Structure 1
Amino acid sequence: MALTLASRFKTLIDLCQTRSGQTALIGVRDSLSYAGLGRRTQAIYHALSTAPQGMVLIHGHKEMDVVPAMMAATFAGRGFVFADISYPAGRVAQIIQTCNCGVVLRTDPKALQTDLFTIDTGRLSDRILEDLRLDPKDEEALFYVTFTSGSTGVPKGIPTTRASYAALSDWFEPENTGSAGGTDAHVSHASMAFDMSMSDIWTALFAGRSLYLLDHTNTLSPRANIHQLLSHPKAPAGTLTATPAFFALMLEDPKFNAQTLPRLRAFWIGGEAVQRSLLLRLRDRFPGCEIHHAYGPSECACITHSHILSDAALAGTGPLPLGPEQSGCRVLVDTGKGFALTGQGEIVLVGPQVGTCYWPLDHPNNANFGMVQGMRSYRTGDHGEVDETGSLKIHGRIDNQVKVNGFRIELGEIERSAVQVDGIRQAVALQADESSPTRGLILVLNGDGLDQGADKIGHVRDHLRATLPPFMMPAKIVIAPDLPMSHSGKIDRRAMKERFGTA
C-alpha cells in the first residue's frame, strides 16, 4: 500500500527522537544529528507561527538550517521555494512575485534583504521537539516549487504536491536504499533549487540515513569534495546522485576511486545526455558498482525512470536505455498519428507523479499539461522511442531547450536578456558541441557598435550576470557581423551550430 507524505514525515520526526545521536546532515564545516534536525525544525516552525501567511522563500545555500527550514515550512502547511545566494536580485524578486511569498527564511546572513517579513534562522535558539505532524487529508497540498528557465524570458515555477512526491517515494526510496550502497550515507551535490536535490534529501532522511551536502564552493575542486566525504568515518558514503558533468569533474581526481571510498557502490546519473566513455571510466574506478541511468522532468517530481546499466549496454552504441516505466508511471509516444505504447515521437508521461501546471498560470507552456484516460499527463518535449519491451531511450529535444550540468535552460531566455543591452540587434545562444574546448553555452551577438569588441562583450556579460543565475551564463560570447538565415527568413540554427558551436 502506498504511503502518504504525511506518514513519511511522521517517520522522520520519530527518527529525530529515536536516533538522536545519529548524524543526519554533513556539510563542509559542520554537521547536524537527527536530534539537532528535530530541534532546529521546531525552532523555525515556532518562528513561522507569528509570520504573515503565504509561501515561504528559503534563501541561502547549503547551511545546516536549510533542511530544517524546509521541514518547518511543510509542517506549518506552507509550500516552500528555495533561492540560492548566487541568484541576482532580479531573479529572486521574480520568484517572490510568481509564488506570492509572504515570508523569507534566511539561512545565510549573506542572503539578500527583501521587503518581506524575514526570519534569520541563525538567530533562533533550539527548541525541544514537539509532536509535529502533517494532516493526511492534505496530500494535494503544495509541497515545494522549483524554477526552471522560461521560453518567454521569465523563469517558470513548477509546483509539486505532497501526493506527487509521495508517488515518487513509493518506488524510488526502496530502489535507492535497497541498492549496493543503500545502507550507508547518500551524497547530494545538486543545488537546493534543483529538483534533483529534492529526491536526494527526502529519500535519504525518510530512510534514516546520513546525507552529505556537497558545497558548491567546491564545484571545481574534486579533492575538497573527497575530503568532505571522508570527514565522517562513521557515515561512509554509499550512494551518489549527480549529473554527468559532476562525475566528469570528480573523475579528474585520481583519488576518486574504490580504494579511497570503498563503500561507495551505487551511482544515479542523469539530468543530461550521458556518454558511454564517462560511464566506462566510472566503472573502471569503481569495479562492480551499480550505475543507474535516470530520467525524469521536474514536472514529474524529478525521476520517472531508473535503470541499472549492464555491461552489454555500456559496450553498445546509440542512446543508452532507461528501462521500463516505474510503478505508477506510464509512458506514451506521440507518433504524430496519436498516442502509442511503442514507437518514436514526443514522449508523454502519465500518472500520479505528473504535476498540473506552471506558475504563472498564464504561461503558454501550460498547454503541455493535460489529461489522458483520466490521469494527469505532461508533454516532455523530448524526442524518444519505446521498444517492444517497454524500455525508453531519449534521442534529443524537439525545441530550443538544452541541459547544461543538469540544469534545464531555455536558450530564448538568455537571448531575450542579451538584446536588452543597447546596440544588440540579435543574440543567438547555442550549446557548444561535445568536441568543442568551450564547454557549456556560446552566445553570438550581432548589432551596432560591436566593433568595440571586448568592451561591448564585457558590458553584455555584466548585464547577463545581473539578470540570470550563474548556471545560465555563457562560457563564451562572440561577435558576428552577420548571422546565417534560412530560406524562410529565420535564423538558421543548424548553420549557427556548425559555424560557432565548435569555436
Structure 2
Amino acid sequence: MQRPHHPFWPKRLPHAMTPPQTSLWDNLAISARRYPDKAALVFLGRVFSYAQVQRQAERLAARLQALGVQRGDRVVLDMQNCPQLVIAHFAILRANAVVVPVNPMNRAEELKHYITDPDAKVAITTADLAAELARASNALPAGERLAHLIVTHFTDAFDPADTGEPLPAAWHDWLLTRHALPALEGGAAMAWTDALDNALPLPEPTTGPQDMAVLPYTSGTTGLPKGCMHRHASLMHNAVASAAWSNATAENRTLLVVPMFHITGMVSVMHASIYVGATLVVMPRWDRDLAGRLISRWKVTTWTNIPTMVIDLLGSPRFDQYDLSSLVHIGGGGAAMPQAVAQRLWEQFGLRYIEGYGLTETSAPSHSNPPDAPKQQCLGVPFVSCDARVVDPETLAELPPGEQGEIVVHGPMVFQGYWKRPDATAAAFFELEGKRFFRTGDLGRMDEDGYFFITDRLKRMINASGFKVWPAEVEALMFKHPAIQEACVISARDAYRGETVKAVVVLRPSHKGQVSEQDIVDWCRANMAVYKVPRIVQFADALPKSGSGKVMWRTLQEAEPAG
C-alpha cells in the first residue's frame, strides 16, 4: 500500500526488512568470529576486542547457570554504561535467560519492584549501587529476595593510572572508590572477577526469535512501572533496521553515552553496533568536555544522543578545541531538537540532525527522519516495517493528514504486552484494518508528506480560557531566545483563565544576571500568539531529567499546585 511518505524514503532501503531468525546472542558470536581482534568496546583508555567480550560473556553465562539461572529466568541488570553492562547483557542472553534492565538512579524502595515483579533471583550491578540493591532485597519477605548478587567495580574494566583522557573531577570518587561486598540476607554476593574466574560448562543455547529476551520497565502516568515483554525478534528487527537506516558498517566508531538501560541505547546503539561489528566508545555518563575529547581522539563517526547533550557540548567554552569533522551521522530523540541548534549543526558542520521517535514498547524507533530528507522539529516517517497512523483518541477512527490525534503503531518492533498485566495490555492495543495497533498515548499529526509531528502527551495540554496550548510548541519557540539554554512549559492555576502558561527556564551561563523574567515574557509576546505566552517565568539552575536525559515535566507540574 502506497503511503504519503514513500516518495521521501531512502532509495537504498526497502520499506520492510526480514531480520535474521537467530537470537541476539548470535550477533555477538558472529561478530567475534568475523572480527576477533577488532575493538568492540573502548572505555576510559582500555580497549576490549570482540573475542574478549565474547569470552567474558560466556564465562559469566556459565556462572549464571551454576547459580541456578534457567531458561526464561529474569536477571536484573542495574548499571551505568560500562563494558561490564555489555558483557552481562549478552551473558544473560547466552544463559537463555531474560535481561531486566534497571535505571541505576533508582533507590531501594523503587528497586523492590524490579526484584519482585519479574520474580528475579539473581542481579548484576556495580559496586556503587550494590548496597542499595542489597538493601532492597533484604527488606523483602524471605521468599521474594535475591539469592545471588554479582558485583563489579568500574576499575575491573580500566586502569586508573591510564585512562587515556583526564577523568572529570566529579567522577573520581564514584569511579575509583572500592566498596566491600554487601551482606545479602538469605543469599550471597560475589565479586565480578570471581564470577568470571571459572571453568564451568556452558549451557546449551536454546533460545530463538520467539523467546523473550528483555523485560524493560516503563513508568507511564500512574501506578507502578510495567514490564514490556520483548522477544529476540522485536529487538533484532530494530537493531538490524537501525544499522541499515544510518548506513552503519563495521568501520563505524560510535559514541555510546545514551544509557544502555534505556531502550534507545540498548537497541539502536549497542545491539545495532554489535550486529555490524562496529566499535563502541563508551561513556559511563554525560560530560561535555570528555565527549568532545573522545570524539576528537577516536574519530567518532556516529553519535546517537539526547538533544540536550548537543546543546551542552556546543555551549562548552572549550568547544573550539574539539574536532567533530569525523562525524557523519548524528541524531536522537527523547525531546525535540531546537531548530536553531539543528541549523547550527548544518551550517557549521554539514550535519543533518536526524530526529526519531519511539517508546520502550516499540524497541526504540517507530519513526525516524530519512537521512537524506529530514524535517526539523519532526518525528520523521514510520520506520522500517512500521505502519503508523493518527487516530481519534475516543473513536479510534483514522484521521486525515493535518488533524491532531493519537499516534498508533503496528509492526515487528512492537512488544508482546505488559508482564503480568493483561488488563494494561488489552487497554494498550486495538484492531484497525485487521492489524493489532499499539496506542502510544502521544498526540501528534501527520503532514501531507507523511511525516509525523508530536504535539504532546495525551494529557499534557493547557486550557487557557478555552485556548488549547501545547507546551512542546511553546518550548520550541522559546529555544530561539539567545539567553535560553533549556525551558519546560507547564500549566499554572489562574483565577481568571482557569489555567495559564508557566515556563521554567535555565539561562545560558553567559546571560545569567543580564536577563530578567520579564525580558523573557516580553520576548515571547513578540514571538508567539498571545495566548501561548508564558504569564509566569521562573528561573532554575537545572531542569529535572530522567536517567535517559528526558526533561521530567511531570515533576515540575506536580510541584506546581503546592507552590
TM category, shorter = 0.7 to 0.9
Partners in 1 of 2:18 and 2:417 — Cα distance?
24
Partners in 2 of 1:58 and 1:496 — Cα distance?
35
Partners in 2 of 1:223 and 1:273 — Cα distance?
23
Cα–Cα, structure 1 residues 122 and 93, in superposed 2: closer, same or farther, change >3 Å?
Answer: farther
Partners in 2 of 1:495 and 1:59 — Cα distance?
29
Alignment of 1:183 with 2:251, yes or no, is yes
> Per-residue displacement from partner, 1:461-500 (whole Å, max 9, x unpaired)?
xxxx9xx97979989999xxxxxxxxxxxxxx79969x97
Alignment of 1:290 with 2:352, yes or no, is yes
Cα–Cα, structure 1 residues 435 and 106, in superposed 2: closer, same or farther, change >3 Å?
Answer: closer
Question: What is the TM-score normalised by the length of structure 2?
Answer: 0.65
Partners in 2 of 1:132 and 1:376 — Cα distance?
36
Partner of 1:3: 19
Cα–Cα, structure 1 residues 398 and 134, in superposed 2: closer, same or farther, change >3 Å?
Answer: same
Partners in 2 of 1:495 and 1:87 — Cα distance?
20
Q: Is the 8 A contact 2:60 2:196 kept in 1?
A: no
Alignment of 1:245 with 2:311, yes or no, is no
Give the deviation of 1:34 after TM superposition.
0.8
Partners in 1 of 2:374 and 2:218 — Cα distance?
35
> Per-residue displacement from partner, 1:395-430 (whole Å, max 9, x unpaired)?
2121259999xxxxxx9xxxxxxxxxxxxxxxxxx9
Matches within 5 A, 1:16-415: 16-28=32-44, 30-53=46-69, 54-108=73-127, 110-112=129-131, 113=134, 114=137, 115-116=145-146, 117-119=148-150, 120-125=191-196, 134-135=205-206, 138-178=208-248, 183-198=251-266, 199-216=268-285, 219=286, 221-231=287-297, 233=298, 236-253=299-316, 256=319, 260-286=323-349, 288-308=350-370, 313-314=375-376, 320-335=377-392, 336-340=394-398, 342-343=400-401, 344=403, 345-361=405-421, 364=424, 367-400=427-460
Cα–Cα, structure 1 residues 355 and 475, in superposed 2: closer, same or farther, change >3 Å?
Answer: closer
Give the deviation of 1:299 after TM superposition.
0.8
Question: What is the TM-score normalised by the length of structure 1?
Answer: 0.72
> Per-residue displacement from partner, 1:217-256 (whole Å, max 9, x unpaired)?
xx3x31122233345x4xx210111111111111112555
Partners in 2 of 1:348 and 1:176 — Cα distance?
24
> Per-residue displacement from partner, 1:131-184 (whole Å, max 9, x unpaired)?
988547x322111122232423422222221111122234222112349xx832
Partner of 2:468: none
Cα–Cα, structure 1 residues 337 and 91, in superposed 2: closer, same or farther, change >3 Å?
Answer: closer
Give the deviation of 1:283 after TM superposition.
2.4
Partners in 1 of 2:367 and 2:452 — Cα distance?
8
Q: Is the 8 A contact 1:42 1:129 kept in 2?
A: no
Q: For 1:124, what is the secondary structure of its paired residue?
A: helix
* 2:397 maps to amino acid: F
Q: Is the 8 A contact 1:39 1:128 kept in 2?
A: no
Give the deviation of 1:390 after TM superposition.
2.0
Two-structure CA RMSD over aligned residues (Å): 3.9
Cα–Cα, structure 1 residues 20 and 8, in superposed 2: closer, same or farther, change >3 Å?
Answer: same
Q: Is the 8 A contact 1:38 1:129 kept in 2?
A: no
Task: Identify which range, 163-172 or 256-265, moves more after superposition.
Answer: 256-265
Give the deviation of 1:323 after TM superposition.
3.4
Cα–Cα, structure 1 residues 66 and 129, in superposed 2: closer, same or farther, change >3 Å?
Answer: farther
For structure 1, which runs of at least 5 residues remain unmatched after alignment? 315-319, 405-410, 412-429, 440-464, 479-492
Partners in 2 of 1:108 and 1:55 — Cα distance?
21
Q: Is the 8 A contact 1:186 1:237 kept in 2?
A: yes
> Per-residue displacement from partner, 1:42-82 (whole Å, max 9, x unpaired)?
11011011123420111222232111111111121111112
Partners in 1 of 2:200 and 2:433 — Cα distance?
45
